[in-house]
Amino acid sequence: MQPFTSKQDFCDWLNQFEHPHLIAGWANQPHWVSVTTAGRLTVHIPFAAKNLLDELSEWVISKQQTDALAPFSVEIIIAPKALATTVAHSVNGVKNIIAVTSAKGGVGKSTTAVNLALAIAQSGAKVGLLDADIYGPSVPMMLGKQEAKPDVRDNKWMQPVEAFGIFSHSIGYLVDKSEAAIWRGPMASKALAQLLNETEWPDVDYLVIDMPPGTGDIQLTLSQQIPVTGAVIVTTPQDLALADARKGATMFEKVDVPVIGLIENMSYHICSHCGEKEHIFGVGGAQKLASEYGLALLAQIPLHIALREDIDQGRPTVVAQPESEHTQRYLQLAERVCSSLYWQGKPKPDAISFTLVD
């Protein structure tokens, strides 16, 4: 039987495994692989990727048998790392912030953000969801939590509302819709910052922020004062939506927030009777825009009545129909977003602790 005599032997063996979410020589990356003196191997995947974990686990079992290796134990875990941002301070209890944005309303951004957050959670991470649409909060309804009110600790720290395994907060939990809708820009921006920083997030790996549409005060507040790790732009194939998506990409570029990629929502319509695809908003627009800005086209999500029905009933498709093709698209999107975020970013150094000795 072939024995491994060093950590590098293990890494060279693991590097034979290839996957779309990995780079060449991935096992040689710092902190990915650890080996104990007893020969126990641990692989730390630093982003949410349950599908990757499952495929790597199967590969390891198969290769151990076919390569006639000396017996050794392998543990593969998902342990998302906090990534550096251009904003110096951080948000307590949050490792990474993903802003889901669109410069135009009506493109399905909130539906995408909610399903993306749920899909990231199912991919192995602890997830928070912040509804930053101060003027028209929709997350409470989409999660079936319209009547929920957050608990408050010490008269300051708001506790997020848990739904389907994720931790959410929204101005919709605190005020009536009519009150939120008449706020001026500076007041709305201040409320958003307070909502983010005075929520006691429970050490989430990713906080998905459902941004309001546009490129105004709230978007600038987020991008300049909040440590956004990366942004995802949602658009449709329609020329008007693509024109506004360009503005969003340009804004994030100017404020040094990395854009992870584009999501083309309502990419095509699927008939609920015959299953035929129909490109009612055009074809190829998001791909052209992605190429223009050097961005990835992360996913093409179809327009289907089931997606609307699920969200209206307060049970988003990812939890309402876990085995559906729609859910599989969101799960693939989640892993692509998290892996791209990691490889585009730079991990924060681990905190150094000191112990005083008398």
Q: For 318-331, what is each residue's pLDDT tens digit?
A: 999 999 999 999 99
Question: Quick check: 229 pLDDT over 60?
Answer: yes
Boundary residue ending a domain (78, 103, 136): 78
Question: Quick check: 193 pLDDT over 90?
Answer: no
Domain contains 354: no
Q: What is the CATH number of the domain that holds 126?
A: 3.40.50.300
- 74 and 98 share a domain? no
Question: Quick check: 358 pLDDT over 60?
Answer: no
Residue 21 lies in domain: 7-78
Domain contains 27: yes
Boundary residue ending a domain (52, 78, 104): 78
Q: Which residues are annotated as a binding site for ATP?
A: 103-110
Taking alpha carbons only, the member of 90, 314, 140, 115 closest to residue 232 is 115
Boundary residue ending a domain (78, 108, 128): 78
- 228 and 324 share a domain? yes
- 67 and 202 share a domain? no
- 41 and 180 share a domain? no
- 177 and 29 share a domain? no
Identify the band that residue 135 occupies on the pLDDT scale cut at 50, 70 and 90: confident
Domain contains 84: no
Domain contains 85: no
* Angstrom distance (rounded) from CA 282 to CA 241: 11
**322 phi and psi, to 5 degrees?**
-65, -25
Question: Quick check: 12 pLDDT over 80?
Answer: yes
Number of domains in the chain: 2
Provide the greatest CA pair distance for the chain: 77
**306 phi and psi, to 5 degrees?**
-65, -35
- 220 and 279 share a domain? yes
- 46 and 177 share a domain? no
Q: Which residues are annotated as a binding site?
A: 103-110
Identify the band that residue 282 occupies on the pLDDT scale cut at 50, 70 and 90: low
- 53 and 137 share a domain? no
- 74 and 125 share a domain? no
- 62 and 111 share a domain? no
Question: Quick check: 223 pLDDT over 80?
Answer: no
Task: Give me the pLDDT at residue 353, please.
Answer: 52
- 143 and 227 share a domain? yes
Domain contains 318: yes
Question: Quick check: 180 pLDDT over 60?
Answer: no
Question: Quick check: 283 pLDDT over 80?
Answer: no
